């Protein structure tokens, strides 16, 4: 029922389309960009429900207050303490290796504000756990959710991050002035 409602709302009422040619079977990391608005979360959740796949997502711990914290955790949210240096990439990579299913969605900018210095935690989780990274772009101008590329981390962080950033260069976020791929 939620699946049908989400499809109706996202595709019919809101007018979004999708172009996803990369397989969503097995374990993977989703790199989702641009992230310029809280609406990205709503669109992403509608898309996941409409397409019937589940994934966890990282979100700053400040959003995990009662009652939202309970709801976000039920939806697959994992709180992130951004001010502390933790070994979260090691923990998540280890968990991914041991788990029969693992799907994690990360916004590499780490913020809705303009940030040319993308976070690389998603990359290191994928590298350590030997997982592919699916590149999902959200384009508000075209009302398009697109995933036509997958990256398997090589260990050459700079080259791989350049390829990842270039994939997203033409996507327009809800607030396009808040998105940049930075210098490449």
Q: What are phi and psi of 129, to 5 degrees?
A: -95, 0
Domain assignment present for residue 67? The answer is yes
pTM of this prediction exceeds 0.85: yes
Determine, yes or no, domain membership for 134: yes
3-class secondary-structure state, position 79: strand
* 57 torsion bin: left (phi>0), alpha (psi -120 to 50), beta (else): beta
- Residue 178, domain member (yes or no): no
Task: Tell me which residue range forms the domain holding 109.
Answer: 2-172
Separation between Cα atoms, residue 176 and residue 184, nearest integer Å: 19
Domain count, the chain: 1
What is the residue-level pLDDT of the chain in tens, covering all 184 positions? 889 999 999 999 999 999 999 988 899 999 999 999 989 988 998 999 899 888 876 766 676 568 866 766 666 666 666 665 568 788 888 888 888 888 988 899 978 788 888 999 899 999 999 999 999 999 999 999 999 999 999 999 999 999 999 999 999 999 999 999 988 8
**Is the residue at 181 inside a domain?**
no
Report the alpha-carbon distance of residue 172 to residue 51 in Å, rounded. 22
Does some domain include residue 183? no
Query: Has residue 182 been placed in a domain?
Result: no
180 within a domain of the structure (yes/no): no
């Amino acid at each position: 029922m939620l699946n049908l409602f989400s499809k109706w709302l996202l595709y019919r009422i809101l007018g979004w389309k999708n172009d996803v040619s990369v397989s969503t079977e097995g374990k993977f990391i989703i790199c989702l960009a641009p992230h310029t608005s809280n609406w990205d979360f709503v669109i992403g959740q509608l898309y996941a429900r409409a397409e019937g796949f589940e994934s966890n997502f990282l979100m700053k711990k400040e959003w995990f207050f009662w009652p939202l914290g309970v709801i976000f955790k039920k939806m697959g949210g994992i709180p992130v303490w951004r001010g502390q240096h933790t070994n979260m990439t090691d923990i998540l990579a280890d968990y991914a290796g041991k788990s029969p299913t693992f799907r994690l969605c990360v916004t590499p900018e780490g913020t809705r504000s303009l940030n040319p210095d993308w976070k690389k935690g998603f990359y290191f989780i994928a590298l350590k756990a030997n997982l592919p990274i699916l590149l999902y772009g959200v384009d508000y101008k075209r009302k398009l959710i697109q995933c036509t590329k997958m990256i398997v981390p090589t260990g050459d962080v700079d080259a791989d991050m350049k390829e990842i950033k270039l994939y997203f260069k033409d996507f327009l976020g809800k607030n396009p002035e808040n998105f940049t791929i930075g210098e490449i």
